[in-house]
Structure formats: structure tokens, C-alpha cells
Amino acid sequence: MFMVSSAEQYPSSYMSLTDCLHGSMDQYGSLEKAFGLSSEVFSPTRKERAAGNCEEDSENKNKQPKESDDDGGKESSKKGSKAAKKKEERKQKEPRFAFMTKSEVDHLEDGYRWRKYGQKAVKNSPYPRSYYRCTTQKCTVKKRVERSYQDPSTVITTYEGQHNHQLPTSLRGNAAALLQPSMFPPPQLAGTTSFPHELFMRMAPHHMNDQSRSIF
């Protein structure tokens, strides 16, 4: 149904996932083009808007809201300052894209180091959604990982933000290697994948029942 695993569906010039992840907006746009998708897939859903990540970014707030203000210091009153801080955080809009991965493991390795900071049960899905943040200092990239309730073997990963650093060297040897350009259109690998997960890259709107825009 939504598998895009055959090589001919991909453009000839490919980029790696990591390129996309720490790339610029141009690359992000290229990604969209690469998959023949418009940024429309990111039109905010009600929930995303609730999260405050869309729209009203006319004022491009400073990045790293968290690290920048409480990097070293701890605020005394947890509740109050948290709320105030969040308010500012929500103004900014981060580039975001989602893709689906056929994988047995929820947290697939993408070359970066992630720290899990939350997990929530998702409505209409028996599987929880996990929230990860890039552990690199000053990198505010986040990702959400959830398993598709329609296809439990599929993991939906949503990246938010862009890495402002290189891949952690410690991971370059193994995971990063997997993400080099050969990974995406794995003509050779597609059938005989040696990965724990097959990437059948798909820009994914959050709500997959939106058939008009989803190819799932």
C-alpha cells in the first residue's frame, strides 16, 4: 500500500537521511522534492497547532530556548517558570518531517544521539509515542517515535528542527554508515536488506486517515 521500496520510485540523485537531518532548509525542501511531495503535508493539524509549533513564527524567536536560559542554572519554582518558558518556546516553528520505517525496533538508529524525555499513550493507538531530544549541546532537534496502529510493524518517526552539528563521531562507524546515500534507494539492498529496519521513506502527515493527502 504505502511501500515505496522499489528503486525506480526514487529520483536518481539521492541524499542521505543524515544530510536531510542536519541540512538546511534548502535541503529540507529538496527532500520534499525528492519525494514529490509538497510541504502541504505539514499543514498543521489541530493537534500540532495545539502544540504551538505551527504558524505565528513571524518573530523568529531565538533558538535553543531551553539551553539558553537554564542551561546552567536551575529555576527555583518549577511550575511558574516552566509555564512562562514554554510560552516562548511555542512560538517558534521548526522544520518538520515524518517518515515511516519498517522496523521491529521503535528507536531506529539514525546516527545521532537521542535522549528520551517522555512517553505518552496516543489516542486511537495501542502503542505509546516516545519523545526524544538530541543530546548534543545547543541542538534542539526533537523527534517523536510511534508505531503505526494500522501496521504494527511500521514505525512513524517525526523529526522537528535541524541539527546544527555533525554526527557524533562515536556513531559514525556503524549507524552513520548505514545512512550514507546508498541507503535510500537501496537498489542493491532493497531486497536483501542488512538493516534491522527497512526505510520506505514517506513524508507522513500526522493523520493518516487523511486520504486526500496521504499515500498511506
Q: For DNA, how many residues bind (rule: CB under 7 A)?
A: 38
Phi, psi for residue 96 in degrees, rounded to 5: -145, 140
Q: Which of the ranges 33-41, 71-79, 178-186, 208-216 carries the binding residues for DNA, by CB under 7 A?
A: 71-79
Pairing of strands 96-103, 154-160: antiparallel
Residue of 58, 60, 73, 78 that binds DNA (CB under 7 A): 78
Encoded one letter per residue, x for contact with DNA by CB under 7 A and - for no contact, window 165-204 reads ----------------------------------------
Are 179 and 111 in contact by the 8 Å Cβ rule? The answer is yes
Pairing of strands 114-121, 96-103: unpaired
Q: Which three cell numbers stand for residue 45?
A: 493539524
Q: Is 5 helix (H, G, I), strand (E, B) or coil?
A: coil
CB of 194 to DNA, least distance (A): 23
Q: Taking CB under 7 A as the rule, does residue 138 contact DNA?
A: no
Q: Taking CB under 7 A as the rule, does residue 209 contact DNA?
A: no
Q: Taking CB under 7 A as the rule, does residue 144 contact DNA?
A: yes
The secondary structure of residue 13, as a DSSP letter, is S
Q: Taking CB under 7 A as the rule, does residue 66 contact DNA?
A: yes
